[in-house]
Amino acid sequence: MADEVQQLNRAFSGLGGLGVDEPTMVSALARWRKQPEKRSGFRKGFPGFFKSHGEIDRCEEEYMLHLAAEFARFKNLMVLWAMHPWERDARLAHHVLHQQHPAAIVVEVACTRSADELLGARRAYQALFHHSLEEDVAYRARDKPYCSLLVGLVTAYRYEGPRVNEEVAKAEAKALGAAAKSADGGGGSGKKLVENDEVVRILTTRSKPHLVETFKYYKEMHGRHVEEDLSQSSGEETLLETVLCLAAPAKYFSQVIEGALRDGADHHAKEALTRVAVTRSDHDMDDIRAAYHQQFGAKLEDAIAAKAHGHYRDALLSLVGAGK
């Protein structure tokens, strides 16, 4: 009895997992038919979700919302997977801008898509919502220090060829270092680095190969990776996400996945697992798996299998290329 209840607890994602284990639930329906005492034991195994009110173990509103979200994970994954990538990115960006979501999703769309993919997402956004993406970004982020950066990122149409002007890359690495020293926390102007016009210009106009070279020279000049300086500065999260998405997207996405799988991850962090699995499965998932293993010492597919349940887990493993 205790083992059966524990299995059903896990199936309902009551122990911190993601998704629900549908086969175990269906099995319980058959095995526990005409055995209400087992269902009572199951409810008592969820003291945080079922509260005793006299003779009734009442289901708390929080648990119903939690369970609805867990059941929805597989459905949401399949809906995102079936969409045209441009529509998917447009809807992801719109949802972020009109809900209390991290700006990182807009950064992802703007920085990890090709120039034509971003342009397609902007066209889809306008067709779907009768506003331009840049218009909504400018309005919704108007009071944020990263507003100019986000507007510049979503309106960019970057050169995608391999040519890089090494002298310009060196000069801009030097400019980034000077800006970092003068930023808030660096003994200077009190202005955040993300608000620096020169930093915004470099990150929103230069090609990705150019930025990779610029950051390489930054390391040579200053003895640290640019993201190390950014990670030590408060309030620069959006700038750090931008740098990683532009120059090291596999590293960025592996960190996002790790955050989603972490014990105690919040709702937004968990949602990111679906988003990354769907949007990157056709692009750089091999690189993401390698980056995850390098950073966290585990196989990505093993980490997902340990945390996710049911059809949601199986879909995730298919998208990340488990068994390759």
Give pLDDT tens digits for 270-310.
Answer: 999 999 999 999 999 999 999 999 999 999 999 999 999 89
Superfamily name and number for 85-157: Annexin (1.10.220.10)
Q: Please tell us whether the domain made up of 163-247 is placed in CATH 1.10.220.10.
A: yes
Query: Domain-by-domain residue ranges, the chain?
Result: 2-10+18-73, 85-157, 163-247, 251-320
When pLDDT is averaged across residues 53-78 and rounded to a whole number, the result is 75
Instruction: Specify the length of the chain in residues.
Output: 324
pLDDT computed for residue 27 by the predictor: 76
pLDDT computed for residue 34 by the predictor: 57
Mean pLDDT lowest among 103-107, 222-226, 231-235, 242-246: 231-235
Q: Please tell us whether the domain made up of 251-320 is placed in CATH 1.10.220.10.
A: yes
Residue 76 CB neighbour total at 10 angstroms: 16
For residue range 142-164, list pLDDT tens digits in order. Answer: 999 999 999 999 999 999 999 99
pLDDT at 181 over 80: yes
Nearest CA to 240 among 95, 107, 97? Answer: 107
Please indicate whether the domains covering 163-247 and 251-320 agree at the CATH topology level: yes
> At a CB cut-off of 8 Å and minimum separation 6, what does 293 contact?
299, 300
pTM score: 0.86
